[in-house]
Chain A
């Protein structure tokens, strides 16, 4: 069985983000990048599928720039067999549709039995790529998987829905995106870290066409206004409720 995992190199949530002067991109200097946490679930699932099915291969592919190699190496250290970096000139400006197109081209060449992704990337929150890839490849897509069981060329996928869960069956190949809780991603073994450096990582230069989507502006989240003390007496409670209702509109 061949499994392709699409992964993304994203800023760590604990990193302090600085928007550069053009107002459209972030300064990546000093920013710590990691393998997108939702993609870690996808990688782990791929590895578990591989371990359960003899002669399987797991390939990680990513659209990015040179620095993206470190996230691909992280996936290789976890146990992925090989990686492909689809290297674009200006990664920051690539929109989800272009990413999906680039990935879909590459996935076609691999012709895998299953394509796994995270449900979204923690930087852009797009959640678009899995659906777009599936559309471009004319494959079924199931989002937000919490459990995946493969048998006889089909995947049984459990996912959460409002107030409960649903179980779907899809033919393979299919695109399945991973929700938190799908599994417990393993830590890379120290040996895996060493071996990862020797595993194949192919770099393919991608010439980007004009993108259809353009970033107009990036802004910081609004600063939380300072708290206000309404008063100390019992009357203050009345005032507080009034303000919460009328001003803050939270109750």
Chain B
């Protein structure tokens, strides 16, 4: 089995990933069909959705239900399509081309964290009762974990659940904060502590008394998605609506977030790609200084940067879905523990799903910001949709685990996998000597091997310095997590470049790969430097720097990143939009 985190130690030439160049015909056809729907049906209504128009959103959900978009990776027995994570990611990234951040949030919540607790941990009766109506779009779901005093620290819940005297109900009291789909939801997964200690998940539905919703939050963006509190006011939930066992709520709450992050990563990746065309269309038409502003190098470099970022996000997204699918495929259908095993596969890829979320949400942030800049003053007005994109983008770095919490997960999980020997990091570390030079016929590959050495050496330094306590040293976790993210990007981008042999986009993919690997390599050396200077004595710092500089000298590699980016921009001008694979 291809374990999560294996990109860290798999020799580069053996590291294979799923790439868009190798999508199946079904995958491509799905993408086309969903893109049509997103652009023809959702996009023209994006401003109406912003008015928090419930009936419009529900109408679109029913249409999406009819087309099968609400249950791509849900088994057919519950009304889904029974397809893989790759297909689900493709559908949601194509939906993101609608440019409606609001609808995408409603969608991701409904098809992700609201649904998976019931699918993975619910019993058959609960699945049969609730999932089909969610698949059709007739019922909207929600997931209520956060509380006023329990945000990132989600287990610090004050919501109580007490068994009724007749033993038929749990009576819930407490307040849930910032619940997506809050005023619209027909169904909710809600968490509370039984007897003050046993954190437990329950299914709420419209029929239950005592489930009240507070007023709408006034948000910066995604104004067309509903966000309210839930007030559990002696809310009576039948005992048969407990998900899993009493006291097993933490696993339910956190494990579905891996899926949530995977989906949010795909949404933000798609949205980031869509920004490029919108900004480019404007740039082509806008004339200043008697020419199209797309002639100006500073704007061209922005576009090249957007392409590189989106290429990285896309590559990493499908590397992850491909790895998950390859593992999930091997599970025996109908096995009583099927969903437990499936969940374990996803959890094992915690590093990857957090990387997807952080990387794609930050690429979207960058693309929206630079895209708006391309529009100049017009980008700042409501005449153009960039103002809305700018507002809508912001939430992605906050929910489904803030990007800080996700960096903690990346660092913490790495540490755990190293210490538990889940991936033989120790072994890899022990093989590194004073010389960091490794030969490879491809210089990008040499750089990646060098980056791996830096990563492993730095991890070793951190473990020697702090031991298990590393996980609470956030000043160090941040740069270390950035190294891991950059390294996953490099390896995946390189694997994609190799897999693109024979594709018509081969030569431009080579350029993008070199530009990406170059940029990420510089990031890694910067982050490592920050760590070394904080935890090593000056002799050791000098030793590290000497090893690094000797390796760089031996490599003798100075790719001209300006020419690479010019090529990337010219390719974009020819195609008119982000389009690879």
Contacts and interface: CB of A to CB of B under 8 A. Distances in A.
Interface in A190-224: 190-191, 193-194, 197
A189 B26 contact: no
Contacts of B26: 193-194, 197
Contacts of A194: 26, 81
Contacts of A77: 29, 33
A165 B457 CA distance: 80
B72 interface: yes
Contacts of A191: 68, 81
B53 interface: no
Contact of B37 (A187, A193, A197): A187
Nearest to B26: A194
B91 A190 contact: yes
A194 B72 CA distance: 12
A105 to B, nearest CB: 31
Interface string B60-87: 0001001111001000000001010000
Nearest to B32: A193
B461 interface: no
A188 interface: yes
Interface residues of A, number: 9
| Majority DSSP secondary structure for residues of B touching A | helix
A174 to B, nearest CB: 31
Interface of B: 25-26, 29-30, 33-34, 36-37, 41, 63, 66-69, 72, 81, 83, 91
A194 B67 CA distance: 12
Contacts of B72: 190
Contacts of B68: 189-191
Nearest to B30: A190
B95 to A, nearest CB: 12
A193 to B, nearest CB: 5
Contacts, number: 33
Interface in A225-250: none
Given A190-B83, A190-B91, 14 more contacts: A77-B29, A187-B33, A187-B63, A187-B67, A188-B67, A189-B68, A190-B68, A190-B81, A191-B68, A191-B81, A193-B29, A193-B30, A194-B81, A197-B25
A77 B41 CA distance: 19
Nearest to B28: A193
Secondary structure at the A interface, as helix, strand, loop or mixed, is helix
A197 B36 CA distance: 20
Interface in A146-202: 187-191, 193-194, 197
A193 B30 CA distance: 7
A190 B72 CA distance: 9
A189 B37 CA distance: 11
19 contacts: A77-B29, A77-B33, A187-B63, A187-B67, A188-B33, A189-B66, A189-B68, A190-B30, A190-B33, A190-B34, A190-B67, A190-B72, A190-B83, A191-B68, A193-B29, A193-B33, A194-B26, A194-B81, A197-B26
Nearest to B67: A189
Contacts of A189: 66-68
A187 B94 CA distance: 15
A190 B81 CA distance: 8
A188 B31 CA distance: 12
A197 B69 CA distance: 19
Contacts of B37: 187
A-B CB proximity, top 9 nearest: A190-B68, A193-B29, A189-B67, A189-B68, A191-B68, A187-B37, A188-B33, A187-B67, A190-B30
A201 B63 CA distance: 28
Contacts of B41: 187
A189 B135 CA distance: 13
Nearest to B66: A189
A44 to B, nearest CB: 14
Contacts of A193: 26, 29-30, 33
A57 B26 CA distance: 25
A187 B62 CA distance: 13
B132 to A, nearest CB: 15
A187 B69 CA distance: 12
Nearest to B29: A193
Contacts of A190: 30, 33-34, 67-69, 72, 81, 83, 91
A34 to B, nearest CB: 10
Taking each of A188, A190, A193, A194, which has the highest tally of chain B beta carbons within 10 Å of its own beta carbon?
A: A190
A188 B72 CA distance: 14
A86 B367 CA distance: 47
A39 to B, nearest CB: 16
B81 A187 contact: no
B514 to A, nearest CB: 26
Nearest to B83: A190
A188 B66 CA distance: 9
Contacts of B36: 187
Contacts of A187: 33, 36-37, 41, 63, 67
A68 B463 CA distance: 62
A187 B60 CA distance: 13
Nearest to B72: A190
